[in-house]
């Protein structure tokens, strides 16, 4: 019963309310509340700060959540080995990935992984904004750039440039910028990453580094859509080379300002803090890393 209550506590922490946890588990809100109270009585601590509208973890609650992920993962892994054999991978995996990367590369990797491991179920969540890996219950997340949360475990996939590019139809009509400053005369299609507007584009390195504030008539929080707009000739974009590699190779997009390119950005896999992770998560992380590096020609 203790393990079941810890598993329920994890659901409450991920969903944020008792009602949402009840809906997720199929239990009544009263039962969820009673079992949470029993778990707090067992440890003799308060696990959540409660208000009329929300829950937030106490320090003891955060400690239990970190440990619960490792313990429950090990129990589930042991159960799989006993029931299905040591080489079988099974169970759910929740992934977060950037929209364009998720559609163009990660989804194909997941499909191949599922064919090799049919007992695995995968939920792929695509978002270009910030995700709370622990709070939203992700087993792994892919993100470009530096990781600000030092509690997360990370694994590097590689370094990839962001490329300024546009369709030939746009360039034929509006001309080709020769310096970053000339972008001020062009329509640039702007990405929004969560609360952050990506309207300051960086060029060069070291002493030659510079920043240019760009403007445009379209802003979107979907990397796939901003690339589609560029392909349609609506403006200039700044995208990861992983997202536009095929467009550049086929000539649908043209790389611009290559002599002013900034340093490449890291692409990393993030994992929740903890001592262990299910074998299925590690296996999928290996497949994603290999698949992306292969697609990039690394």
**How far apart (Å, rounded) are the C-alpha atoms in residues 222 and 126?**
9
Question: pTM for the complete prediction?
Answer: 0.72
Task: Give the tens place of pLDDT for each residue, 119-161.
Answer: 899 999 999 888 888 888 899 999 998 887 778 889 999 999 9
pLDDT > 70? residue 51: yes
**How far apart (Å, rounded) are the C-alpha atoms in residues 248 and 83?**
49
Mean pLDDT over the full length of the chain? 90
pLDDT of residue 87: 61
Tokens 């998720």 -> residue:
102
Task: Give the tens place of pLDDT for each residue, 250-285.
Answer: 999 999 999 999 999 999 999 988 656 788 899 999
Report which of residues 16 and 252 the model is more confident about.
252
- Percentage with pLDDT > 70 across the chain: 95
Domains, the chain, in order of start with CATH, read 2-81 (1.10.10.10), 89-157+267-296 (3.40.190.10), 162-263 (3.40.190.10)
pLDDT of residue 126: 95
pLDDT of residue 205: 87
């Amino acid at each position: 019963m203790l393990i079941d209550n810890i598993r329920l506590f994890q659901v409450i922490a991920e969903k944020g309310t008792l009602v949402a946890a009840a809906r997720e588990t199929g239990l009544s809100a009263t039962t969820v509340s009673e079992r949470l109270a029993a778990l707090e009585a067992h440890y003799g601590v308060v696990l959540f700060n409660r208000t009329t509208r929300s829950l937030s973890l106490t320090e003891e609650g955060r400690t239990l959540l970190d440990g619960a992920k490792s313990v429950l993962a090990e129990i589930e892994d042991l159960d799989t080995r006993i029931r299905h054999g040591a080489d079988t991978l099974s169970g759910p995996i929740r992934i977060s990935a950037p929209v364009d990367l998720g559609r163009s590369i990660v989804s194909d990797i997941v499909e191949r992984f599922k064919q090799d491991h049919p007992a695995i179920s995968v939920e792929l969540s695509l978002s270009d904004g910030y995700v709370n890996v622990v709070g939203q219950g992700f087993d792994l997340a892919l993100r470009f750039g530096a990781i600000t949360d030092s509690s997360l475990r990370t694994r590097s996939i590689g370094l990839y440039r962001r490329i300024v590019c546009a369709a030939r139809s746009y360039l034929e009509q509006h001309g080709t910028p020769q310096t970053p400053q000339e972008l001020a005369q062009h329509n640039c299609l702007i990405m929004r990453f969560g609360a952050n507007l990506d309207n300051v584009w960086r060029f060069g390195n070291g002493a030659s580094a510079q920043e240019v504030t760009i403007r445009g008539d379209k802003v979107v929080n979907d990397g796939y859509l901003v690339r589609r707009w560029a392909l349609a000739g609506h403006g200039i974009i700044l995208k990861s080379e992983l997202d536009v590699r095929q467009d550049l190779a086929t000539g649908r997009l043209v790389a611009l300002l290559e002599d002013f390119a900034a340093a490449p950005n890291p692409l990393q896999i993030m994992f929740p803090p903890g001592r262990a992770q299910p074998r299925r998560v590690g296996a999928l992380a290996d497949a994603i890393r290999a698949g992306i590096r292969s697609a990039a020609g690394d």
